[in-house]
Structure 1
Amino acid sequence: MALPRTQLSSFLAVVDHCERELAKILTLILGIVIVAALISLIRSVIGDLARPEGAWLGDSLIKVLGDLLTVLIALEVLENVTSYLRCHVVQVELVLVTALTAVARKVIVLPSGAEDKPQLLAGLGIAAAALAGAYWLVRHPLINQTRKDLNKSFQDPDQFVLLDNDGMQ
C-alpha cells in the first residue's frame, strides 16, 4: 500500500530533518574526538622528544605516525560529514581519499611479524589497489565527461545520447 503524495513528502521531510540533526550531533562528537586525539598526540610527541636517549626514533616513531594518520583520518571523516551537511550529497572522491589514507595508515603501522602473514599483506595490497583504481575512475576526465553527458540526458530526455563502449557517440 503506497502512501499518498502529500503524506510521502511530509514523511520524507521529517526523515531529512532527522538526518540533518543526527549529522550535526555526529559532527560535534567527532570534533570532540579529534581535539582529544590531537591533545594526546601532542603530549606523546613532547614526551618522546623530552627523553634524552632518543629512543623515540624506533617503534615509538611508528606509533606517532600511526596516531598522526589517525587524526588525519578523523579530520577527513569530519570533512565528509560537513560536506554532506552542506551539499546533501555524499562525495565519493572524499570517501575514497579517506579510505586510501586508512589503508596507508594500516600499512605504515604494521606490527613486526606481519611479514609472516601473507594473507594480511595480500589483502592490504588488494584493498589499496582497488581503492586507487576507484579513485582513478572517479577522477578520470573521459569517464567524468561521459557521466556528465548521461546526467544531462536524464535531465532532458530529448537530448539523450547513446554512447558505445569507448564513450563515443
Structure 2
Amino acid sequence: MIDRAEQQLAKLLGLVLVVVMAAATCQLIWQVVLALSVPETPWLGDKLNRVLGDLLNLLIAVEVLQNITSYLRRHVVQIELVLLTAMTAVARKVIVLPAGAESKPQLLAGLGVAVLALAAAYWLVRSLTLRKPPERTGPAIRIRGRGQ
C-alpha cells in the first residue's frame, strides 16, 4: 500500500513538473522573442545571465523529470542520474554567478568543494558500475546450428 501511494505521489509530482516546465518554456521563449524584437537591448551582462539561468533551470527540471520517470519504471533511484542532475545544478550556479561574486570567497570555496565532491561521487559510482558483472536475468538460450 505504501508503494502504491509512493508511485501515485511520484506520478503527481511528475505531472506538476511537466506543467511547470511548459509554463517556464513559454516564459523563456517570450523573453527571448521580446529581447530580439528590440534591437537596442544589450544581450551581454545581466540579461544574458538571466536567460542562461532560465535555460539551465529548464534543463535541470528535465533531468529531475527523468529521475522521476526512471524511478516509476524501475522502482530504483539511479544514483548516477541524480549525481549528474546535481552537477548540472552546481554548474548552473557557477555559470550565472552574479557580478561581485569574486569578492565572496566562502561562496566560491563552497562551489568548488561541491564540484569536487560530486565529481568524486560520480567517479566512484561509475567505476563500481563498470566493474560489476552483468546480472543474468534467466537461463541462457542455446541456439542450435544445422549440424546439431
The bucket for the TM-score relative to the shorter chain is: 0.7 to 0.9
Normalised by the size of structure 1, how large is the TM-score?
0.76
Give the share of equivalent positions with the same residue, in percent: 62
Given candidates 111, 114, 123, the residue that maps to 2:98 is 111
CA distance in 2, matches of 1:145, 1:33: 36
Tell me by how many angstroms 1:56 deviates. 2.0
Normalized per residue, the structure richer in helix is 1
Q: Which runs of 5+ in 1 are unaligned?
A: 1-13, 153-169
Which residue matches 1:35? Answer: 22
Distance change >3 Å, CA 134–CA 54, structure 1 → 2: same
User: Runs of at least 4 residues of structure 1 off by over 2 A?
Assistant: 143-146
Q: Which runs of 5+ in 2 are unaligned?
A: 136-148
CA distance in 1, matches of 2:130, 2:47: 47
CA distance in 2, matches of 1:46, 1:110: 24
Normalised by the size of structure 2, how large is the TM-score?
0.86
Which residue matches 2:122? Answer: 135
- Count, aligned residues: 135
- Corresponding position: 1:144 with 2:129: yes
CA distance in 2, matches of 1:107, 1:115: 11
Tell me by how many angstroms 1:145 deviates. 5.0
- Structure with larger RCO (C-alpha < 8 A, sep 6+): 2
Q: Deviations over 1:5-63 (max 9, x none)?
A: xxxxxxxxx00110011111111000001001101110111111111114122211111
Q: Deviations over 1:71-121 (max 9, x none)?
A: 000000000001000000000011001000000011111111111100000
